[in-house]
Amino acid sequence: MKQPQSVKRKWGALGAAAMLLMSIALGACSKEENSGAPEASASASAATAGAENGAPMEITWMPLPSNTQENSYAQQYIEKKFNVKLKTVLSPNTGYVDKQRILLSSHEIPDVFYVGESQDLFKYASQGLLAELPVDAIKQHAPDTYAMLNEVAPQSWYYSNYNGKNYGVPTVYYLGKYNAKQAWREDLLKKAGVDKIPETLEEFEAAFAKLKEIGVYGMSTIGNSYYAQFHTIFGAFGVMPPQWMVKDGKVVNAAIQPEAKEALTLLADWFKKGYIDPEFVTGKDLDVKFVNGKVAFLDSNSTAHISLTNPNSNINKARKIDPNASVVFGPLPKGPGGQHGWAWGTAGHIWAFGKQLKDQPEKTAKILEIINTIQNDEETYLAMTWGVEGKHYELADPSKGPNSGFKRIPPFDDGAKLQTEGLFDTTGLTTVFADQGNPKLFEKFADKEAAALRTLYDGAVSDLFGKPDVLPSSGKYWGDLTKLKVDTYAAIVFGNKPVSAFDDFVKQWNSMGGAELEKEANEMYQAMQKK
């Protein structure tokens, strides 16, 4: 099967979509007397008078879910640089969304807060909990971020757009342009008599058969994930369930295409032959089994897992058990539809603004200034990602200077310890208070070896709309549809249902809202083409 045309031309369409969405938002705001933000009320003016008189402006900020502590290094840096006082609402990843929903339902709404999923943003907007943020306000007060989004992630404007109005600042997801890496235990392949890293589906199957002879499962996957479940095998058949794609000029969902049934037929056969770990359905302990030599191939690995300098990498963990262990990346499996892996695309999440900010334009402008500066100003970006040189990081190669990249200094090479400082990750990619910054800055200071690995064996395919759940009615149907997809696919692979059950699944998918979403997807796509 040929590569779908949507994959070849989607970015042009997405660029047009971004312009369409911005024109809607700009058109709406041009009808107002002020094109930036509404006039301040008397109460809002009183709230910001202190800042105008030189006293710090108070901002309630709910940053990314993390182990960040109150009065962290990052918080103090922001307060000093921008003359603000942050009242932080902190939460680890577990329980973050629940805490956010409780706060909003009780109308204790932070001024600015991170929203991970568009459907949550749409729900908040429909409930009147958010302040509209016209796109031209972003253009005015966060011009570098505005330009970056249009250049790097035009599809991100879908994520913050609800009923033709913009509700927040979208973010970029730099690593979203790459698919996860395919990791092999090379030592187990050699032990089984396989001297070449498999590339085609036929070579995969032959290798799995030999691995079975030495008591090793060929592969496992994140079987409880609606997107990662056997994604590379489906990619070999030219589909990436449940992404939206263009096929024969029409937008369809990959989950219900005949090519998905072909992939399931092969997977069910592999499972029956004993090539797939039966515990794949749980999505648990994948790395543990890989490290312990129970499974030879994983389809969702990161570049960090073959790093010899990372004590927690899979290669180093495996070598503690077997000094001769070898972990390598291999190509995506090649099939009748090519070689493809799931990618999220370069759009990330959203910074939403509480409804109270509709009467506080000065505070809105200040927040946009802070986000814009953290994401795009080199000095501030470094301070918010890497921290303080000599304390949080050092040059990877002092003889080559900053362009050699940076590395963490203990104890801040430990991610949990690092986050207490308000620094999000060990790679210097993400900031706690502004999410990911300008990719050009990340690339300038990133680990060069890891950067090269990210482009290795890349066959990324992302959804036509960035994320598959950004359609107007996704909130009503998407959760049930993805559960149906995960459960049905797993049952077919496991042998609890015959492959023919796929036909019933298609009917059920459509009746549970899939048909309505497909109609909306085509309407959105046609609007993109007209612009």
Domains (range + CATH), the chain: 57-173+346-457 (3.40.190.10), 181-342+467-529 (3.40.190.10)
Could you tell me which of 374, 383, 371 has the C-alpha nearest to residue 73? 383
pLDDT of residue 76: 98
The whole-number mean pLDDT for each consecutive block of 10 residues of the chain, a chain of 531 residues, reads 35 46 45 34 37 82 97 98 98 96 97 95 96 98 98 92 93 92 96 98 98 98 96 97 97 98 98 98 95 96 82 92 96 96 93 98 98 98 97 90 84 94 92 96 83 86 91 92 98 98 98 98 83 53
Q: What was the pLDDT predicted at 445?
A: 85
pTM comes to 0.79
State phi, psi for 490 to the nearest 5 degrees.
-65, -40
Q: In angstroms, rounded to a whole number, what is the distance separating the alpha carbons of residues 234 and 232?
A: 5
**Range 33-38 contact pairs with CB under 8 angstroms and sequence separation of 24 or more:** 35/134, 35/136, 35/137, 35/140, 36/134, 36/136, 36/137, 36/140, 36/141, 36/361, 36/365, 37/134, 37/137, 37/358, 37/361, 37/364, 37/365, 38/358, 38/359, 38/361
